Structure 1
Amino acid sequence: MNPVDPEPADPGRFDASTDAVAVVTGAGVVTGWTRAAEELLGRAAGEVVGRSAARLLAGPGDPARVAWIAERCRAGMGWSGQVPLLHGDGHRVDADLRVSAAFRIGGTESFLLSARQPRQRWAVGQSVLDGFLTRSPVGMAVMDLDLRYVWLNDTLEKFGGIPREQRLGRRLSELLPGLQAETIEGLMRKVLVTGIPVTDYEYVGWSWADPHRRHAYSTSFFPLVDAADDVTGVCYMVLDVTERWNARQLLALVNEAGTSIGRTLDVLRTAQELADFAVPRFADLVIVDLLETVLDTGGHGTWLTDAGPAHVRPVMRRAALKSVREGAPEAVAGVGERVDFLPPPHDLHLLISGEAIHIPVLDPADELWLAQEPERLANIREYGIHSLISVPMRARNTALGLTTFMRSLNPVPFQPDDVLLARELVARAALCVDNARRYTREHTAAVTLQRSLLPHALTGGTALEVASSYLPADAPGGVGGDWFDVIPLSGGRVGLVVGDVVGHGLAAAATMGRLRTAVQTLADMEMPPDDLLAHLDDLVLRLGEEEPRDDIGTPLVGATCLYAVYDPVTRRCTMARAGHPPPVVVTPDGAVSFPEPPAGPPLGLGGMAFEAMEIELPENSLLGLYTDGLIEGADHDVARGMDRLGEILAQPEPDLRALCTSVVRRLVPVPQADDIALLLTRTRALGPDHVVSWDVPADPAAVADVRARATRQVEEWGFWELALTTELIVSELVTNAVRYAEPPIRLRLLRDARLTCEVSDASSTAPRLRHARSTDEGGRGLFLVAQLAHRWGARYTPQGKIIWAEQEIA
């Protein structure tokens, strides 16, 4: 076989019912021959079957080409082309041949061949051809070697709006100088020189037929040659593709808007991005008015759905404004001002369920609704605003506001296609505005919740000077669960706590509030730090059972915590931690250390005990508790963050608040994705002039002597008004210890922010407050103490317990 002039395969080109069909083996032997094949080549089946198919070709075979076609068909692709065949009477038959993919018959590789004679070409008369060229919807022209018009059809004459008589003999650049004439003539010269056609060159321009609207054209150029194959001119064809070009432009604008609008979760910024994007691409003036309820981050919208009355005009504020004129003098109201503008009809349903309003030609004389807007009417006339589109902003069945597009300098009115673009732009912006609104409200609620759960005022009494700093996370999830607290305890002691709940948002803030409340309750029960964390761990475990779990079954509730108790009398600090960074200590001489209590597991894991550690702090030492957000960073590890924290705290700074602010600002100069909490304290000590104590013998007769000593000491401190109540409190507490407790017994008076009376013994049994009946002879002692003292309680020590009572100092 010797195929020539191969053509692309056409599945619908052959018909097996009428075409000549033969079956040929892979060795080239004919095994099947149809009646149509006999008619095409004048050969009976007996003359062909069982013989080589090469005998059917009109010329010499090409083994390489035949092998290539065979391989292609074995790959399942098939082949088609034109081949010369030899008729039985010896004349040549040009046939269109198609070869099928290879298949097997009885184990023999075979190919199905079908052939037919090419169809005769349609002959067209000169009159028909002239009518076709003249009335074709494609503009056509013929230019000579000097690029002057020698012929054009009616369509091209209509495109340009210039009569045929004025075009003939003149060049394009002379007729339409603003239509990229130089570029088009450059392309035609290139075709004349190279003889290579230029197809589908698109450009945008104008014509005298429609001078106020841009049109897009697709143009092709090809050379004209004579019988001697010499170039005699150039022919070009023009097709108006304005609608296709507009569709592409609209699609491009919409795609670009997706990356330009809604880049931040800020309502006003998103509205301004919409206005900035549309001017001057689409409009000369863009106004975005949003309902006040949308801009109110704390309220609930009255006009957010279709539940409100339609006869009431909504209250909106101008959220964004953009104009091609500097300062937007066309606008009646500026950004931030209240507006109530609604184009006709003046109905709230426009915002709730109405369609976009399109006024292609805005004629102030014909628009009755403008009579109610005298100031706006004056601006329309002064600045020549002639076309308008107003699109309601809605998202998720929520009315947000109204966006208005206007044209003044651009003379082309808004077209129906422009309304589609305006609606698409506003729809995208509305989703972004609604997302920003929802995020802002949730973020505000989370921040409000967290700040309400954090302490508003911290005091360390006479034991500590306290300063704190909290910085919310700059993350889509909003605030996190970092918290801190300073808890006054009995005996002038102070409890210090800092913690960090896993996660961000409302859930983390709510969990933080529950843990902070639990810590305050456990601290009031005078629990040591390790026991307090154990009880807090149990609470987090119970909370985790109530919360959802992740894919591997791990509870989504977790936290870290550090709890410390500072005693200003002994200057000792007892602390324990649950997966939290260690505290930082700076002594008065500037030495920095990070005492590390045994690192217990984070809260919520369970199964492991917590251990406490005790250190002694010199007076005026600096003790800092913090969360990991303060020391972690993208440019350094935790160890480096701790070193930098110590370096800053070691610098002399008498103002503790200023030092706290400086630490956060220097360690975290830019917002980050985690909360930051820092609690700084400067320790104080209570000297001998504030504390006195006496050993009490286990003898009821010793009560009177101890009571007298306590009364004299209170009077020496100048608390005359507390002498009597102190005498009664000491008498009751010491008497109970002598009667029911075990020695050694000791009485201590402590003068701090309050006057505290403490009685310690070696017993672990705490007294119980009873309400004695009128017939009882005893049981009123603790009840009397509770009535006289500001508060009272008991705490356990390794040696026993301490019963204490506090009195307010005037």
Structure 2
Amino acid sequence: MTKHPGAGKGTGGHAPGVHRTAADTPAGPPWGARPGAAGPQTDRLRYLDAATRQIAHGMNLDETLRELCRAAVPAFADVALVHLYAPLPVADDPADSSGVHVLRLHSADRAPPPGALGSGPAPSDADPVQAAQVVHLAATGPLARLLRAGRPVFGDLPGIRSVVAELLGVANTPGALPPGRRLILAPLHGRRHAIGSIVLVRGPGRADFTGDDLLVASQLATHTAVGIHKAVLYAREASAADTLQRTMLPPSLPEPAGVLLASRYLPSSRTAQVGGDWYDAIPLPGNRVALVIGDVMGHSLTSAAIMGQLRTVVQTLAGLDLPPDEVLHHLDEQAERLGSEHTATCLYAMYDPVLHRLLVSNAGHLPPVLLHPDGRTEVLPVPPGAPIGVGGGGFESTELHAPPGATLLLYTDGLVESRDSDVLTGVDRLRARLREAASGLGPPTLEELCDASLGTLGAGVRDDDIALLAARLEGIPPETVAYWYMAPRPQTARQARRLTRRTLRDWGLDSLVESAELMVSEIVANAVRFASRPITLRLLRTDVLRCEVGDDSPLVPRMRHARPHDEGGRGLFLVDQLAQRWGATRVSTGKLVWFEQSLPGDQEPD
């Protein structure tokens, strides 16, 4: 079959010829030539069996019509033209019985003229058949009625010649149409409405079509219509499944200080069903970030629903600032409560850019790969653990050093496992692609690393979904961090003001000293009221100035509006007025109250 945007144009207005071999067409001699030894009826049955199976091989619209043309030309006809409604009606949508409809030429194929070698346009006097690119037909006109009837007809019947002339784009005059019964018009009919037509033409030197050939054309059209219906529904389901999957993934990634993030998600190209792969990046208190990757087994709406629930549970648990092993433990418990037989794998990594530390726990997922700044790759030694939903727990948190400038790669098994490659081989290939990407003159960007990780999978056939999360662990330089422990006593607020003032002056942030001192004093004084253990004070200078005060009380302060005669209650109101942003978060050790201030214009770091 030839995609034919120019049918009816060019030399003689002919579609390109296609040279056929025995492997291109169903078994048996060209139809209309001498019959086989077994008799014409047996030949027709054999031909139909091979042709209908060939048409069924098509997985999409183009493949279905290509297989139709390969089955029809030249074994049954010398020319095959396919017009389809634009847009195509599908499913059980009611047919529109009013207005003007449009048929567009989708496919055209023809056998070479006798004696021609290879492919190419036929001489203009050897084959007068052409095709109309666009046909406008009234819903109640003769062509529309013929297509709705769904029965193939000969082109020389009274009342049909004008319809055929429309499809061929020629005048209904003597000599403009193939003479005799050399043309069959076979409607393509879905379950409830017409979807197009097939025109089959025999050239000079072959016998005319017979009544039995009408039955053959009917079968070709019926199986082609079924294939078109299946292909269009498949494409719509695949698009809907992909949209559903993507709505369950993060619409964008956060931009925490000390780490750069990039991601990829590619749905399987072999199924229209939604999968259960997901990834996430969740900011945590103290400038840390949780990096999550997971995979619910199976491809179905149930898998997607479970994935959405597990992802929500992980986000909730991350907000409690639990260690990675406890997050997976509670996730496993929640999965059991869901009462589903589906299992999932999940890897949860917590990155601290100040301490340059990774804390990782794994639930049956593939271990992450770390690309070092010097180009070396390492599969992190993380105990695998049991998958989520199996029960039994036993998850461990592994602490690892995260060199500044290293890149952590989390991925699902679709990236490294396929029909012709096991997981170990796939991981080795992934590491080789990462090393090659890092061997250039400069360090590769995260986007370049993601593209390199996918390799040819980005444009090729994929057996499974692929989720990929890459994190460049840049870290926060120690000279931009100040950290203290202070006893919870009345003098602590004054001590905190002094430490803040000295640190900001050392950093050249004199213009922020007065406001930062006031806010630190208010927050520390509030912490002293409830803390029973030492209070923490941390200042960080990144793209903003951030102050964090932590204590062991879970009571989170709330801003309230003090009355004129009240002596207190104005601390958080002042913080709210002076800070660019502020907040209070419960953590596993108590709570953390923080605020941020914009740096002066000439003090912003590169």
TM-score tier (shorter): 0.7 to 0.9
Counterpart for residue 262 of structure 1: 56
SS of the equivalent of 2:100 reads coil
User: 1:290 corresponds to which residue?
Assistant: 84
Q: Percent same amino acid at aligned positions?
A: 36
Letter in 1 for 2:583: W
Q: Does 1:280 align with 2:74?
A: yes
CA distance in 2, matches of 1:417, 1:424: 11
Specify which of 541, 553, 569 is matched with residue 751 of structure 1.
541
1:545-567 CA deviation, whole Å, 9 max, x = no partner?
3xxxxxxxxx3432211111111
Q: State the partner residue of 2:129.
A: 330
Cα deviation, 1:238-292, whole Å, max 9, x if unaligned, reads xxxxxx9332222112101123113131112212221232122222322222222
Q: Does 1:346 align with 2:142?
A: yes
Aligned to 1:676: 466
Q: Are residues 1:527 and 2:327 paired?
A: no
Which one-letter code corresponds to 1:431 in the other structure? V
SS at match of 2:142: coil
Structure 2 Cα separation of the partners of residues 642 and 559 of structure 1: 20
Task: List aligned pairs for 1:23-42, cutoff 5 A.
Answer: none
The verdict on how the C-alpha distance between 1:373 and 1:621 changes in structure 2, with shifts beyond 3 A counting, is closer
Shift in Å at residue 381 of structure 1? 3.3
User: Do residues 392 (structure 1) and 187 (structure 2) align?
Assistant: yes
Does the 8 A contact of 2:368 with 2:380 survive in 1?
yes
Which sections of structure 1, spanning at least 5 residues, go unmatched? 1-202, 205-211, 219-243, 295-300, 546-554
Change in CA separation of 1:685 and 1:251 when aligned onto 2, cut-off 3 Å:
same
Q: Distance in 1 between matches of 2:265 and 2:141?
A: 51
Equivalence for 1:147: none
Q: Distance in 2 between matches of 1:620 and 1:717?
A: 24
Contact 1:331 1:379 in 2 (8 A): no
Partner of 2:592 in structure 1? 803
Seen in structure 2, the aligned counterparts of structure 1 residues 670 and 313 have a Cα distance that, compared at 3 Å, is closer
Aligned counterpart, 1:418: 213
Q: Does 1:359 align with 2:158?
A: no
Q: Which amino acid aligns with 1:330?
A: V
CA distance in 1, matches of 2:199, 2:165: 19
Q: Deviations along 1:113-150, whole A, 9 cap, x unmatched?
A: xxxxxxxxxxxxxxxxxxxxxxxxxxxxxxxxxxxxxx
CA contact (8 A) 2:83 2:107 kept: yes
- CA deviation map 1:472-509 (0-9, x unaligned): 32323455322222223332212211111211255444
The 8 Å contact of residues 463 and 494 in structure 1, kept in 2 or not, is answered as no
What residue is the counterpart of 1:646 in the other structure? 431
For the pair shown, the structure with the greater C-alpha radius of gyration is 1
What SS class does the counterpart of residue 425 from structure 1 fall into? helix
- Give the drift of 1:793: 2.8
Code of the residue aligned with 1:645 in structure 2: it is: L
Give the CA deviation at 1:735: 0.9
- Distance (Å, rounded) in 2 between the aligned partners of 1:395 and 1:633: 37
Kindly indicate whether residue 476 of structure 2 is the aligned counterpart of residue 690 of structure 1.
no
Instruction: Tell me what 1:596 maps to.
Output: 381
Distance 1:341 1:389 in 2: 19
SS where residue 478 of structure 2 aligns?
coil
Match of 1:694, SS?
A: strand
Aligned residues: 552
**1:531 to partner: Cα distance:** 2.6
Q: Report matched runs for 1:299-318 at 5 Å.
A: 301=89, 307-318=94-105
- From 327, 332, 352, the counterpart of 1:537: 332
8 Å contact kept, 2:143–2:163: no
* Gap change, CA 1:373 and 1:462, over 3 Å in 2: closer
Where does residue 14 of structure 2 map in the other structure?
none
Q: Secondary structure at the match of 1:340?
A: strand
Q: State the match for 2:267 in structure 1.
A: 472
Task: Report what 2:44 is aligned to.
Answer: 250
Does structure 2 conserve the Cα–Cα contact (< 8 Å) formed by 1:582 and 1:594?
yes
Opposite residue 694 of structure 1, the aligned amino acid is: W
- Superposed counterparts of 1:689-708, under 5 Å: 689-708=479-498
Q: Deviations over 1:406-462 (max 9, x none)?
A: 334355333222111111111111111111111111111112222343345435544
- Residues 256, 686 of structure 1: alpha-carbon distance in 2 compared, 3 angstrom cutoff: same
- Work out whether residues 284 and 410 of structure 1, in 8 Å CA contact, stay in contact via their aligned partners in 2: no
Over 3 Å counting, the alpha-carbon distance change for 1:649 and 1:408 in structure 2 is: closer
Instruction: Report the TM-score, using the length of structure 2 for normalisation.
Output: 0.79
Larger RCO (CA within 8 A; separation ≥ 6): 2
The answer to whether the 8 Å contact 2:386/2:392 transfers is no
**2:556 aligned with 1:767:** yes
Secondary structure at the aligned position of 1:673 is classed as coil
Q: CA deviation at 1:378?
A: 7.0
Contact conserved, 2:32 with 2:209, CA < 8 A, in 1?
Answer: no
Aligned-partner Cα distance in 1 for 2:475–2:154: 80
* Secondary structure of the corresponding residue to residue 655 of structure 1: coil
**In 2: Cα distance, 1:624 partner to 1:379 partner:** 70
Q: Is the contact made by 2:155 and 2:185 (CA closer than 8 Å) also made in structure 1?
A: no
| Maintained 8 Å contact 1:450/1:510 | no
SS in 2 for 1:290: strand
1:794 & 1:369 partners in 2: Cα distance? 75
Give, in angstroms, the shift of residue 605 of structure 1.
2.5
Please give the root-mean-square deviation of Cα atoms over the aligned residues, in Å. Answer: 3.7
> C-alpha distance in 2, partners of 1:369/1:668?
46
CA deviations on 1:669-708 (whole Å, 9 max, x unpaired) are 9533122233232321212331112333432233134225
Partner of 1:617: 402
Three-state SS of the structure 1 residue aligned to 2:39 is helix
Q: Structure 1 pair 597/704, CA: closer, same or farther in 2 (3 Å)?
A: same
1:574 deviates by: 0.9
The 1:780–1:502 alpha-carbon spacing in structure 2 relative to 1, beyond 3 Å, is farther
Q: 5+ residue gaps in structure 2?
A: 1-27, 113-119, 123-127, 600-606
- 8 Å CA contact 1:289–1:402 kept in 2: the answer is yes
Q: Could you say if the C-alpha distance between residues 471 and 376 of structure 1 is closer, same or farther in structure 2, counting changes exceeding 3 Å?
A: same
Alignment match, 1:403: 198
C-alpha separation in 1, matches of 2:586 and 2:167: 77
